[in-house]
């Protein structure tokens, strides 16, 4: 083992400059010589291109296995590469997964060409090239090569759906009060070459410059605790567009459901309106959204402590936001299946993503019993599941889930089972493929559930509220 490997083994991931300093001190050599030795070191993993003075983060494979790389990377990037740190922080705030357009909002990289600035796409490519971030064509994710905690794609997508509806309601609010011109508002729009959660043209007299209207701009951060550092991206982005020659005047909003006192003071010092959800839309609206996010953030705990809470929220959403309710229908059905398994005594996880067989695969519901693990595919759609979907589940997902299962030491004495749940059932050819697979695949038990089977299982639970939700929302079957 080389001197550099020993130093990394004892101290953990380090910047190349810090490592060179320790090498120089320990071997009584000149700093330049030590730096050259560090630069030439073999079998050391590195992350390049994000730190001042061309420094690198250096680490060992064992640091990745022990989940030590990400915390050091984030700390050093904050200290020596702040403009890149915004990306890591946005991903951290959202359980490791953020859709592209929202990540464009949460960083201060332009989405259109801007002199002396790297555009968003090129910055993201740097992250991807260094195996810090992965991209699936829709979302950016912290790479499992530096972040071993499973990504929560379900949480990310659902929270983004909620954000979109809050932004739509914000649009209605500023339009109906005359703060913006009636037909000018847009969600996830560009302004000043940067992405914003909301943009609207404002006719307010105080915002006019040389007869030109100003703008209302807003971003949204909800569902997570927000501290001082977490709002810095918004301040940096705002300062950038206001520095332009002939910049338009703006009213900037940051929409939040909760905020640390220091963060609020920093926003106010920079002339930013803090738009608390409860103040904008009322206490009942805010409480419903907060409870909805809380349930999605911790499915297992919420279904154990208050299993009917998500069903009560369905009733609330029916009253004031049917659009949001329909948009998260699939996620809510995963809670139905999770609810069924919890009632039978299992512990569950919802929406876990694993990386196996060269791809990412989402476990809709993972139910762990004393003697078995059940992995469920859940489709809360209004249309039947077709053969292509069943084929993908059989040939892609099941092999990946099986390989993952066999690699889990804690599951060695448990049986593995697979389920497919569909609120609309299956097409004839898809159903036949499922039956053939069930009869021929003897390694693990296979079960599938259409509307009739789902209602039968729910009836056995003796839960009136669940049966009503299935009949009136998920299955649309009249009793």
List pLDDT tens digits, range 148-175.
Answer: 666 566 678 888 999 999 999 999 999 9
Q: Which two tokens stand for residue 61?
A: 């494979």
Which residues, listed in sequence order, are joined to residue 252 by a DSSP beta bridge? 217
Mean pLDDT, the chain, integer: 92
169 in the Ramachandran plot: left (φ > 0), alpha (ψ -120 to 50) or beta? alpha
Find the mean pLDDT for residues 401-410: 94
Helices (H), 210-282: 232-242, 261-269, 277-281
Note the pLDDT of residue 424. Answer: 95
Please give the Cα distance from 88 to 98 (Å, whole number).
11
Q: Could you please report the per-residue DSSP string of 400-463?
A: HHHHHHHT-GGGTTSEEEEEEEETT-B-HHHHHHHHHHHHH--SSEEEEE-HHHHHHHHHHHT-
Helix 283-297 / helix 309-320 crossing angle, nearest 10 deg: 140
Residues 6 or more apart whose CB falls under 8 angstroms from that of 232 comprise: 86, 266
Alpha-helical regions (H) of 227-346: 232-242, 261-269, 277-281, 283-297, 299-305, 309-320, 322-327, 329-343
> Does residue 406 contact residue 379 with C-beta atoms inside 8 Å?
no
Here the tokens at position 460 are 């056995």
Q: How far apart are CA 48 and CA 127, in angstroms?
A: 9
| C-alpha separations of 277 from 172, 200, 264, 297, 462 in Å | 14, 19, 14, 19, 37
pLDDT reported for residue 478? 42
Write out the two tokens for 43: 């079998």
Q: For residue range 258-285, list pLDDT tens digits in order.
A: 999 999 999 999 999 999 999 999 999 9
pLDDT at 477 (0 to 100): 47
Residue whose C-alpha is closest to residue 194's, from 247, 255, 156, 139? 247
Question: Rounded distance, CA 408 to CA 397, Å?
Answer: 17
Radius of gyration of the chain (CA): 26
**147: DSSP letter:** -
Phi/psi class of residue 228: alpha, beta or left (left: φ > 0; alpha: ψ in -120 to 50)? alpha
> What is the token pair recorded at 153?
């794609």
User: Residue 289 is encoded by which pair of tokens?
Assistant: 């959204």
d(CA 391, CA 400): 14
Return the percentage of the chain with pLDDT > 70, whole number: 97
Instruction: Compute the C-alpha angle 397/402/404, nearest 5°.
Output: 95
Q: What is the rounded average pLDDT of the residues 59-79?
A: 93
Structure tokens at 9: 């083994």
The pLDDT value recorded for residue 343 is 93
Tens digits of residue pLDDT in 246-256? 899 999 999 99
Q: What is the pLDDT of residue 28?
A: 84
Strand partners, 18: none
Kindly state the tokens that stand for 294: 């809380």
The answer, yes or no, to whether residue 137 has pLDDT greater than 80, is: yes
When pLDDT is averaged across residues 41-53 and rounded to a whole number, the result is 92
Q: What is the pLDDT of residue 479?
A: 36
Model pTM score: 0.88
CB 222 within 8 A of CB 257: yes
Relative to beta strand 250-256, strand 214-221 is parallel
How many Å apart are CA 344 and CA 462, to the nearest integer? 12
Size of the chain in residues: 479
């Amino acid at each position: 083992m080389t001197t550099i490997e020993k130093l990394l083994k004892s101290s953990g991931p380090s910047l190349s400059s810090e490592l060179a300093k320790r090498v120089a001190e320990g071997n009584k050599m000149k700093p330049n010589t030590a730096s050259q030795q560090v630069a030439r070191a073999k079998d050391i993993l590195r992350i390049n291109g994000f730190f001042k003075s061309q420094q690198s983060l250096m680490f060992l494979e064992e640091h990745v296995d022990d989940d030590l790389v990400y915390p050091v990377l984030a700390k050093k990037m904050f200290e020596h590469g702040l403009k890149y740190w915004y990306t890591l922080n946005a991903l951290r705030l959202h359980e490791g997964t953020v859709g592209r357009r929202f990540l464009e909002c949460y960083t201060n990289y332009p989405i259109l060409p801007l002199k002396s600035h790297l555009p968003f796409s090129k910055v993201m490519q740097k992250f991807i090239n260094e195996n810090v971030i992965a991209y699936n064509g829709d979302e950016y994710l912290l790479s499992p090569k530096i972040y071993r905690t499973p990504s929560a794609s379900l949480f990310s997508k659902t929270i983004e759906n909620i954000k979109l509806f809050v932004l739509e309601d914000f649009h209605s609010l500023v339009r109906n009060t005359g703060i913006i011109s009636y037909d000018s508002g847009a969600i996830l729009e560009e302004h000043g070459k940067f992405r914003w959660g909301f943009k609207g043209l404002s006719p307010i007299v105080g915002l006019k410059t040389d007869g030109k209207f100003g703008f209302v701009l807003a971003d949204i951060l909800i569902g997570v605790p927000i501290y001082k550092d977490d709002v810095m991206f918004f301040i940096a982005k705002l300062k950038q567009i206001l520095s332009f020659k002939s910049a338009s005047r703006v009213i900037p909003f940051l929409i939040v459901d909760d905020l640390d006192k220091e963060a609020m003071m920093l926003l106010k010092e920079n002339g930013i309106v803090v738009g608390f959800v409860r103040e904008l839309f009322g206490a009942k609206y805010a409480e419903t959204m907060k409870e909805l996010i809380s349930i999605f953030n911790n499915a297992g705990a919420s279904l154990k402590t208050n299993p009917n809470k998500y069903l009560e929220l369905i009733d609330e959403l029916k009253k004031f936001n049917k659009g949001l309710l329909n948009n998260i229908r699939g996620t809510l059905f995963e809670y139905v299946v999770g609810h069924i398994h919890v009632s039978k005594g299992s512990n569950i996880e919802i929406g876990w993503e694993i990386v196996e067989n060269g791809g990412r695969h989402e476990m809709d519901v993972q139910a762990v019993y004393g003697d078995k693990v059940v992995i469920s595919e859940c489709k809360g759609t209004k249309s039947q599941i077709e053969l292509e979907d069943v084929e993908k589940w059989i040939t892609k997902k099941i092999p990946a889930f099986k390989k993952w299962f066999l690699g889990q030491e804690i599951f060695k004495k448990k049986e593995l089972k697979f389920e497919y749940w569909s609120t609309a059932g299956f097409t004839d050819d898809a159903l036949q493929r499922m039956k053939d697979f069930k009869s021929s695949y003897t390694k693990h038990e296979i079960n599938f559930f259409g509307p009739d089977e789902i209602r039968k299982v729910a009836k056995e639970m003796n839960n009136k509220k669940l049966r009503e939700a299935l009949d009136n929302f998920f299955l649309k079957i009249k009793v």
